[in-house]
Amino acid sequence: MSKLRVVHYINQFFAQIGGEEMADFAPEYREGCVGPGMAFNAAFGDKAEIVGTVICGDGYFNENVDKSIEVILEMVKKQNPDLFIAGPAFNAGRYGVACGTIANAVQEKLGIKVLTGMYVENPGVDIFKNKLYIAKTKNSAVGMRDAVKTMSALALKIANNEKIGASSEEGYYNR
């Protein structure tokens, strides 16, 4: 069986482009995995691989929502992925809203399965928990290892159309 194809969405910080001073970074596509994508690839093993990474600054995305969605959807569509993962955003509010917004657009407009991850206090949780699978994460990137473990296991189930257990067992917010 061939590996599942995954496209990963991250912000400018996790792409190591910069912090707030680079929040106006326009959408960019890179082949393969970048930043936390390497941890996801390791967790996926031979079951899936990140074929490409979409990077966009939090400020840019949230100030140019329609344009960002349009550009990013084209980037994702070209890769013909089985799954789209956004984040994890932890408790970064603008990043969480961007992750939820683009994951929802990919799911609705392209029909691709999606997953994101956020901390309970991220505004993206309240906005998107009824539309998306959102894995529970810790408050900050210190929890990346746990987030990747939870998200990669859930991502494989989603992509393979496997039965998803209770939110308390699988580590996502009730939908």
Element containing residue 116 per DSSP (H, E): strand 113-118
Cβ within 8 Å of residue 144, ≥6 positions away: 36, 39, 88
Q: pLDDT tens across 68-108, in order?
A: 999 999 999 999 999 999 999 999 999 999 999 999 999 99
pLDDT at residue 39 greater than cutoff 80: yes
The radius of gyration computed from the CA coordinates of the chain, to the nearest angstrom, equals 14
pLDDT at residue 1 greater than cutoff 70: no
Following CA atoms 70, 71, 72, 78 in sequence, which dihedral angle do they give, to the nearest 10 degrees? 100
Q: How far is the C-alpha of 81 from the C-alpha of 157, rounded, in Å?
A: 15
How many Cβ atoms from other residues are within 10 Å of residue 171's Cβ?
Answer: 20
Q: How far apart are the first and last CA of the chain?
A: 31
Q: pLDDT tens across 126-149, in order?
A: 999 999 999 999 999 999 999 999
Percent with pLDDT over 70 in the chain: 99
What integer is the mean pLDDT of 21-46? 97
pLDDT at residue 2 greater than cutoff 90: no
State residue 175's pLDDT score.
87
